[in-house]
Structure formats: structure tokens, C-alpha cells
Amino acid sequence: MSWTETDFTRRLGLRLPIVQGPFGGGLSAVDLAVAVSEGGGLGSFGVHHLDGAGIREIASAIRARTARPFNLNLWIPFRGSDELSADTATFDAWLAPLRGFFDELGVALPTPPERYAPAYAEQIDAVLDARPAVFSFVYGIPSAEVLARCRELDIVTLGAATTPAEARALAAAGVDAVVATGMEAGGHRVSFLRDAEQVLTGGLALVPQVADAVDLPVVAAGGIADGRGIAAALTLGAQAVQIGTGFLACRESGTHDAHRMALLGPAAEDTGLTRAFSGRLARGIRNRFMHEIGAGPLAPYPAQGWLSGRLRAAAIAQERTDLMSLWCGQAAPLLGRSGSGAIPAAAGYLQRLVAETDRAFARHGPR
């Protein structure tokens, strides 16, 4: 049977079992989501950093340019993150370890904001109004009411699990499909039942365990950047793959060129996990900010992310890759092996993935 046809692709009407990873914090881009959806995969946009109006605007912009299915992604509030506030003394203590970087970049010290992240209730209303083909989420499970509304609106829900237990929790709540996220993945570790550091399972071991644990389509994420990885993930029991770093490196993504070139160069060979940028564990290229800030003390999520976010525009403008978050998965070195160093376009990257996956499946057969 052709590897492109699975229950997951049939249900969504996709030509390819390839989901674009839904980057947050402005790294997603309408151009990229449109290119992936038009190319036969599932284009995605991470909207956790946007308020309701921002989410509606993004959904309209994608819909204006493609009639194909697309995916909006949110972060579920986690351990009180949606209500986090701090008095001035606490805020100053959170800011203290970062003061040197504000000075170095010439950025004025911030004062406490009204909120450290957009209100979740407003975000979820906007996502439901936008009615994407797929609503994906990380760090937990939406309420029963939200999941019921998704069913009424024919929105396919896609939760994220880093353990079989998290997958079972998602299935028990009635979520439609599960992303099994191996520790190879770039960006945030999306664990919600145990601390992320305690459940760092590689995809080879995780994907079949999740496939055994739940009677739902499984999407494999983490460590996949070429067709060999796609074929391997489907062989392990996944019905689709989610590729993050590979699409982040494409020219249509919302990241900056310094980050993109790092993904395609030798720096990408050395990634690590850190809470330095957001207060939650995430994988990126090791740099000075990780080394100097990672050991803590750190503000809690989402305050640490808000604080380091105040540095970001200046770090980017000054091309200071030593102080930026350079999210990157462990498979990034597979992107540049042609040695061309050229920045790919999403359509070309999809074509490469399809050809490689065909070849991988043609190479072996049963005895």
C-alpha cells in the first residue's frame, strides 16, 4: 500500500502524511503554512503568542490563500501559567540574572507587564471561530466543553504526548489523534504529566509504545528531517510525521536568516535542552545564553519567556546568535548534507521528502 495513504491522510484529505510543526513565538508564517498545505501536507501556525484578534487575522490570511486544510496550535495553560503575576520585588528578582544582557544589547530594562502571555480564554474562542481543519495543542488537554465544540464544528483535535501515559490521557478525553514527540525534537518539550526532564524518550522507542497505547492515529515528531525518517516513523506505527526544524529552515518560515543559516550549518550538530529562554524545557543550538542562564535561577513560565522576549528584537537586529533562542532538533544535520548550503523553499523540500521516502521504502521488503 502506498505510504501516502493512511487513515489520518484520508480523514483530512491530505495528499501527504506530513504535518508542518507549528512553531510559536512568531517563527510560524502564513507563507509557510500555505506552501505546505498547497503542497499536499498540513500547514500549521502556532498562535500561542497571539491574542484573539491576532489569531483571527492569521486564520483569515491563510484561508484567503488556500482552500486546503490547515492547523492552528495553542499552548494549554499549565500549573497556573494563565494567571501568573508578580509584585515589583519578585519581578526585579526575575529580571536580575538578565540585566547584564539588557545592558549589553542596549535595551531599556522592562517594567512589569499587565500579563505575561495572552489570555487563554480569548485564544480558544478565536481558534474555534476560525474553525481550522485541525486544532493542535501542547502541554495538556482542553476542557471537555472545548473538545465537544470541536466535534460539533468538525475540527480534528490533535494532542501532544511524550509518554504512553500522556497519550492515554488524551485518548480518554476524546482527542482525535496524538503527536508522539520524541526527545530529538527541536523547541519545547511538551510533557504535561511529569517534569519534562524525567521523560526524555527517543522516537524509536516512543512511537511504537504510543501506537500500542492508544487506538488513535499517531503522528511521529522529533528527529525526522528526511525521507528515511518519514519511512522509519511510518514503519514504527505512525500514520503521519510532524517535521519542525526542516520547515523552519525553509525560506518561507518566520525566523531570521541567522537562525536559518545556523540550522543548515555545523552549529546545528550541537543542540541541548534548556529552560533558559522560557522557563520550560526546550531544545536549541547551544549558545552563550543557554550556558549562562540555563543553570538558573529562572522566572517561572511564562514570565521567563516574556523577559527573554524583551531582548529578542535587539538580539536579532544585532545578529547576536549567542543571545537568541536557536530552536533546533537533532535531525538538523540531515538538512544540509547536500552541501549546497542553499536555503530551500517548502515546495522543493516536500518534493525531496517524497522522493526520498519512496526510495527508502523501495530498498527493503519482506523475506
Positions touching a second copy (CB under 8 A) are: 1-4, 163-164, 182-184, 198, 200-206, 208-209, 212, 222-226, 228-229, 231-237, 269-270, 272, 329-331, 333-334, 337, 354, 358-367
Whichever of 15 and 63 has its CB closer to a second copy, that residue is 15
Classify strands 156-161 and 134-138 as parallel, antiparallel or unpaired: parallel
In the bound state with a second copy, the residue whose beta carbon lies nearer, of 108 and 362, is 362
Cα-based distances in Å from 56 to 24, 36, 45, 50, 60: 16, 20, 12, 9, 6
Q: Minimum CB separation from a second copy for residue 82, in Å? A: 30
What is the nearest approach in angstroms of a second copy to the Cβ of residue 199? 9
- Tell me the closest approach of the beta carbon of residue 14 to a second copy, in angstroms: 14
Q: Which is nearer to a second copy, 148 or 172 (CB)?
A: 172
In angstroms, what is the minimal distance from the CB of 38 to a second copy?
A: 19
Our CB check for a second copy shows the closer of 326 and 354 to be 354
Residue 209: closest CA among 200, 196, 218: 218
Spacing of C-alpha 202 from chain mean position: 17
Contacts made by residues 228-234, CB under 8 angstroms, sequence distance 24+: 228/356, 228/357, 228/360, 229/331, 229/334, 230/3, 230/17, 230/18, 230/353, 230/356, 230/357, 230/360, 231/3, 231/357, 231/360, 231/361, 232/204, 232/360, 233/203, 233/207, 234/3, 234/6, 234/17
In whole angstroms, how close is the CB of 15 to a second copy at the nearest point?
Answer: 10
Question: Which residue number, 1 or 108, has a Cβ lying nearer to a second copy?
Answer: 1
Nearer to a second copy, 304 or 357 (CB): 357
What's the min distance (Å) between Cβ of 246 and a second copy?
12
